[in-house]
Amino acid sequence: MKQFNGYAETQSYSTSEKLPVGGYVLKIANVRYEEGQNGNSDRIVFMFDIEEGDYRGFFKKQFDAQTSEDKKWKGTVAVYVPKDDGTEQDGWTKRTFKTIMENIETSNPGYSWNWDENSLKGKLIGGLFAETYTVIDGKEIKYVSLVPKNIRNVDCIRKGNYKLPDPIKKNGATGSVSTTNSTDFVNVADGAGEEIPF
């Protein structure tokens, strides 16, 4: 067999480090407000990285290791914004949204949620990452993800004052929550430094 051009320089695929299930202190690197379409709720997408512990900078390292031109930042989670339509579902959305904002306030002394999503950049939050199973076309895909209901204050994480969530099982696509192995990630510009843009 004849050796093809560039064999020595070609980067091989490697098994990337997996994030273990657990609690982590996260820093919000960026946020984006997305208007809902086709009757769906608006949402705020948080782009985060791990700020403390052995896995500090996990998502930045993952991003830097990607070799494709269309790099994706894999540390994201979407939080639905209430529609204010009086439905029971909207009541649950309001409760989740307020709980998350209160946890951000508690995690960042002196900060008060002011209805400006850009004010969330640089803030700390706690997050519980659970095993997630999704069945797509009959094939089970396993990954570790952060879902909005698992956002806590940083003191809970630092003190270990939390219960790990049970595995999450979903059918179909991963939906509105971007996870560590989803294909629905936020694009990040190549060469982005400390300020990671959407």
Reply yes or no on whether the pLDDT at 176 is more than 60.
no
Q: What are phi and psi of 171, to 5 degrees?
A: -115, 140
What is the reported pLDDT for 67? 84
Phi then psi for residue 194, to 5 deg, are: -65, -35
pLDDT given for residue 11 in this prediction: 53
**Residue reference for tokens 């984006």:** 32
Alpha carbon distance 143, 167 (integer Å) = 10
Say how far apart CA 169 and CA 17 lie, in whole Å: 23
What pLDDT score was predicted for residue 12? Answer: 54
pLDDT beyond 60 at 148 = yes
The pLDDT value recorded for residue 9 is 65
- As a whole number, mean pLDDT of residues 140-147 equals 82
Does the pLDDT at position 184 exceed 80?
A: no
pLDDT higher than threshold 70 for residue 191? no
Q: Where are the chain's structural domains?
A: 22-187
Q: What is the C-alpha separation between 182 and 173, in angstroms, rounded?
A: 9
Residue with tokens 């480090």: 17
- Structure confidence at residue 16 (pLDDT): 63
Cα–Cα separations (whole angstroms), residue 35 to 78, 83, 134: 12, 11, 26
Q: How many residues belong to the chain? A: 198
Tokens 């060469």 found at: 191
| Residues whose CB falls within 8 Å of the CB of residue 172, separated by 6 or more in sequence, listed in order | 134, 135, 136
